Structure 1
Amino acid sequence: MLDSRPLLLATDFPPIKRGRVETLQVNLGYLCNLSCVHCHVNAGPNRTELMARPTIDLILRYIDQHDIQVLDLTGGAPEMNPHFRYLVTEARLRGVEVIDRCNLTILLEPDYAATGLAEFLAEQGVVVTASLPCYSEDNVEKQRGKGVYNKSIAALLKLNALGYGIDADKQLNLVYNPVGAVLPPPQETLQADYKSELKQRFGIEFNQLFTITNMPISRFGSVLMSHNTFNPYMDLLKNNFSDANLATVMCRSLISIDWQGYVYDCDFNQMLEMPLIATDKTKTHLSDLLGVSMMDRDIAIGDHCFGCTAGQGSSCGGALND
């Protein structure tokens, strides 16, 4: 696989600093039941990297010490980590909002359906933020594989039956990624289209749609390079840079933790193995930051940061200024 990392490290992106950390975004491992084209972590069924129980307990210690408000669980398929339910339960007991970045199809996998994964999420009041790259079957299956669309629809109907997207305490959000090297369309307009199409065709309801720009790293970066479209895509991102988005980029209030417990400024920096700035170590472990404030620290930047600031902006919570 072609590596885009060397092309991203030298940058003229403006310097930024972190505010108070409110969100821990935790990658529970790269194991996944899917292998999506746009996946920036190269997750798949053959990956073996999974966060171990001692690191999970360290996450909980950090939450206790730093008054973390949101625990954002990613993967891979985060639900495939054997300690997923333990972490969710403990975080919810602490009053922390938990987000599960769910690929939907995992809810129908026999082992997870039989043990009531969807029901567990509902009982815990977990916010489900689910990937659905488009409301049309062709576009979804171009990114995520044959048969994924129908499974996703079935999973959404299952979540609706449990009150997701309907009850106030069961938030269901969908995530849109463009197909190819283009910026997402306006989030508010696309959300209206999603709501209309999914309601009319399947009776599906959800809360919000998040549009997220494809980042030129890992698997997607390799695809761009192999098709000689990496430079044009970077030009697109840079030409659409918006200074207004700098105030609300997600890295200002978030830190990202990998499956081994190492800390990065964001999930994308994690995949690029870009360490925190102003530390004595090449890699900083979460155990080194217990009791340490991250306020006002410089954030490690690269050319991929233009992906978060182009056009309407992009974060794990969708557009920044739609």
Structure 2
Amino acid sequence: MKSLAARHDQLADTSFQLEVLSQGLPTGRTFPAFGQRLLENGLYPLKPSQLTVLQVNVGKMCNQVCKHCHVDAGPDRKEIMTRETMQQCLDALVHSDITTVDLTGGAPEMNPHFRWFVQELSQLGKQVMVRCNLTIILANPRYHDLPQFFQQHRVHVVSSLPYFTSSRTDAQRGDGVFEKSIKALQMLNGAGYGVEGTGLVLDLVYNPAGAFLPGSQKSLEAEFKQRLNHLYGITFNSLFAITNLPISRFLEYLISSGNYEGYMEKLVTAFNPAAAANVMCRNTLSVGWDGQLYDCDFNQMLELPVQANAPRHIKDFRQDLLAARDIVLNQHCYGCTAGAGSSCGGEVV
């Protein structure tokens, strides 16, 4: 076993040559390196556990421009996964233990090969999860049958809804988004989603609207369920409370509003070793729209690929080599380990 001094040297030589978030930011504060906190708690280097989820970003094009979006997605984005790259994902899945494929974007449904991809994944026997922004269902007549398409393939639908009021939702996601989201949720309920006994899972995602951590996921879920059912007759399965990470549009907001230092201090102070031990990058591999591989969706947006000694493109997928890699870390990782932790499935402890 390496000595503590040797581990410190390894730390200095690897992960924290990449502290991109501390470069050029208007702050006089410095914060402990994330890897250092892991080392102090016996978690460095952070290694994969069992790879069970492939999260695939099929493109950055979206019908919305949300203020908190870490993908910087929007209608003007042209990055779209090709059918060839999707086939490479399918080929990789045949030779893996992955059980769940999590499709994200942008609005993943805007990829012209989206439905073909879902069908092929279903035929492989994979659980397909789609991160649907809800308004896409109403954006164009060609999307109106998405609830029925999801139903046909038993897709697990995960949808963002910042709050159960129009003012807070529209402030974060754009004018009119709340009304369209409510209508889309009612359409999904009509197709059996979120309805007891159907087995069709509809989960919601909550992101804080400002520079603060989310409240208790359990309490938020109870409140969302009560309000949405009482006001609109909407039912759903679970609510995921997700911490906003200091990257992309949310980082721009933190800097422009003078909240960057204070928010980072909140994240660093709330560091939880139990959350760090259960972060999603330990069982999830992220695939970019171009097939490049990342430890998580957030690293993907920061262009921090998997460790160099592991395959870096889905066409070169090797589960054994990927299982042996060290997970690439950076200061934004504090967002996934603050408090009860945060993942694409909400709290982790």
Shift of 1:236: 0.4
Unmatched runs of 5 consecutive residues or more in structure 2: 1-18, 24-30, 39-43
Amino acid at match of 2:346: G
Shift of 1:118: 1.8
Matched, 1:285 2:340: no
Equivalent pair of 1:199/1:205 in contact (CA under 8 Å): yes
Matched, 1:254 2:296: no
- What does 1:215-234 correspond to in 2, within 5 Å? 215-234=245-264
Deviations 1:24-47 (A, max 9, x none): 000000000000001000000111
Shift of 1:238: 0.4
- What does 1:204-243 correspond to in 2, within 5 Å? 204-243=234-273
Amino acid at match of 2:309: T
Deviations 1:190-248 (A, max 9, x none): 10000000000000000000000001001111111112211111100000010111221
2:323 partner SS: coil
Amino acid at match of 1:75: G
Shift of 1:10: 8.5
Q: Tell me, in whole angstroms, the C-alpha distance in 1 between the residues paired with 2:142 and 2:300.
A: 28
% identity of equivalent residues = 46
Shift in alpha-carbon separation, 1:69–1:90, aligned structure 2, 3 A: same
Partner residue in 2 for 1:105: 135
Q: Tell me, in whole angstroms, the C-alpha distance in 1 between the residues paired with 2:310 and 2:233.
A: 54
Superposed CA RMSD in Å reads 1.7
Q: Tell me, in whole angstroms, the C-alpha distance in 2 between the residues paired with 1:174 and 1:218.
A: 22
Partner residue in 2 for 1:76: 106
Partner residue in 2 for 1:267: 297
Q: Tell me, in whole angstroms, the C-alpha distance in 1 between the residues paired with 2:188 and 2:204.
A: 12
Shift of 1:290: 4.0
Match of 1:11 among 33, 57, 62: 33
Deviations 1:256-284 (A, max 9, x none): 00000000000000001112124288xx2
Shift in alpha-carbon separation, 1:56–1:280, aligned structure 2, 3 A: closer
Matched, 1:315 2:310: no
Q: Tell me, in whole angstroms, the C-alpha distance in 1 between the residues paired with 2:51 and 2:310.
A: 21
Match of 2:212 among 182, 196, 200: 182
Partner residue in 1 for 2:148: 119
Partner residue in 1 for 2:326: 298
Structure 2 length-normalised TM: 0.87
Matched, 1:48 2:78: yes
Equivalent pair of 1:20/1:294 in contact (CA under 8 Å): no
Amino acid at match of 1:272: L
Partner residue in 1 for 2:173: 144
Partner residue in 2 for 1:62: 92
Q: Tell me, in whole angstroms, the C-alpha distance in 2 between the residues paired with 1:280 and 1:64.
A: 19
Q: Tell me, in whole angstroms, the C-alpha distance in 1 between the residues paired with 2:97 and 2:340.
A: 30
1:121 partner SS: helix
Unmatched runs of 5 consecutive residues or more in structure 1: none
- Identify which of structures 1 and 2 has the higher relative contact order when contacts are C-alpha pairs closer than 8 Å and 6+ apart: 1
Partner residue in 2 for 1:154: 183
Amino acid at match of 1:102: C
Shift of 1:291: 5.7
2:346 partner SS: coil
Matched, 1:92 2:92: no
Amino acid at match of 2:129: I
1:260 partner SS: coil
